């Protein structure tokens, strides 16, 4: 009777009583949820290449699901050296490289205005611009004799295409590519989500997961998400039904 009275009263002002489901707090669209599903589907990785590694916090999460892989962390900002050294000291399967990743070895410009942001560029920035070493994933794989299959993770704020261009040989033996993708064009040369997905399709990869969606502060529209790409030839894409 009390519930009925409350329901009628609340309905008049546009509300209703609804039972809370035990699933209401469960969010499957998280990095850890997607990594778990990938391993459940048979993901096999011997080397994880973490580009834009900051202090190793993403690799630390990934290591829960791929504990036996070798981890190579590539980070552009010197300020993260202390955190990377600590992460390496705690794990004997970790190495790091202080450099940007790109499509050729040499030097490159970098916007270091944010410790957990930053962007590489072939042309100098007007502000907060430093010059740092740049390496290619393919050359580092060869130099360090890193064994496939590979997982490549990119948190690189619009510089993804150049990095992937420098990883063409590595991609031939990659089982998973995780990219922080964007719904907006960050720079003149950056790719929006759908453009990057088209580029990945030409390389033989299709998206299998999309997690950690973020709305931008400006207007609460979709800003970015982490997109998982796996080889299109994998068995997942041979099944085209819901059940």
Yes or no: domain 35-238 corresponds to CATH 3.20.20.70:
no
In the beta sheet, which residues pair with residue 215? 222
Contact status, residue 25 vs residue 128, Cβ threshold 8 Å: no
> Nearest CA to 179 among 207, 201, 139, 219?
207
Residue 164 pLDDT greater than 80, yes or no: yes
- The structure's pTM equals 0.87
pLDDT at 166 over 60: yes
Distance separating alpha carbons of residues 102 and 108, to the nearest angstrom: 9
Q: Which residues of 11-35 are buried (b: 16+ CB within 10 A; e: fewer)?
A: eeeeeeeeeeeeeeeeeeeebeebb
- Residue for token pair 């072939």: 122
Q: What is the mean pLDDT of residues 135-146?
A: 97
Evaluate whether 209 touches 38 at the Cβ level (below 8 Å): yes
Q: For residue 149, say if its preceding peptide bond is cis, omega within 30 degrees of 0.
A: yes
Q: Are 52 and 77 in contact (CB under 8 A)?
A: no
> What is the C-alpha to C-alpha distance for residues 40 and 30, in angstroms, rounded to an integer?
15
Q: Name the least confident of 6-10, 56-60, 202-206, 233-237.
A: 6-10
Burial class (CB in 10 A: 0-12, 13-18, 19+), 8: exposed
Question: pLDDT category, 111, cuts 50, 70, 90?
Answer: confident
* Residues above pLDDT 90, as percent of the chain: 76
132 with 100: CB under 8 angstroms? yes
For residue 22, what pLDDT is reported? 46
Domain ranges, ordered by start, for the chain: 35-238
Q: Of 26-35, 45-54, 85-94, give the lowest mean pLDDT range.
A: 26-35
Assess contact for 108 and 189: CB atoms under 8 A.
no
């Amino acid at each position: 009777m009390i519930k009925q009275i409350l329901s009628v009263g609340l309905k008049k002002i546009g509300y209703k009583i609804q039972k809370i489901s035990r699933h209401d707090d469960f969010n499957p669209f998280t990095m850890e949820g997607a990594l778990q599903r990938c391993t459940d589907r048979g993901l096999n990785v011997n080397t994880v290449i973490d580009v834009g590694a900051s202090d190793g916090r993403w690799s630390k999460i990934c290591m829960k699901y791929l504990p036996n892989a070798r981890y190579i962390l590539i980070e552009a900002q010197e300020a993260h050296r202390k955190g990377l050294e600590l992460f390496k000291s705690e794990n004997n399967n970790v190495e790091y490289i202080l450099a940007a990743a790109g499509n050729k070895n040499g030097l490159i410009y970098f916007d270091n205005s944010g410790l957990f942001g930053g962007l590489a560029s072939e042309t100098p920035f007007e502000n907060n611009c430093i010059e740092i070493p740049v390496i290619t994933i393919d050359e580092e794989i060869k130099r360090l004799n890193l064994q496939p299959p590979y997982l490549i993770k990119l948190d690189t704020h619009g510089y993804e295409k150049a990095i992937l261009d420098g990883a063409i040989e590595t991609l031939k033996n990659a089982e998973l590519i995780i990219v922080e993708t964007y719904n907006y064009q960050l720079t003149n040369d950056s790719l929006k989500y759908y453009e990057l997905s088209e580029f990945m399709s030409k390389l033989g990869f299709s998206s299998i997961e999309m997690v950690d969606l973020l709305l931008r502060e400006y207007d609460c529209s979709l800003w970015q998400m982490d997109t998982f790409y796996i080889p299109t030839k994998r068995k997942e894409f041979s099944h085209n039904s819901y059940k």
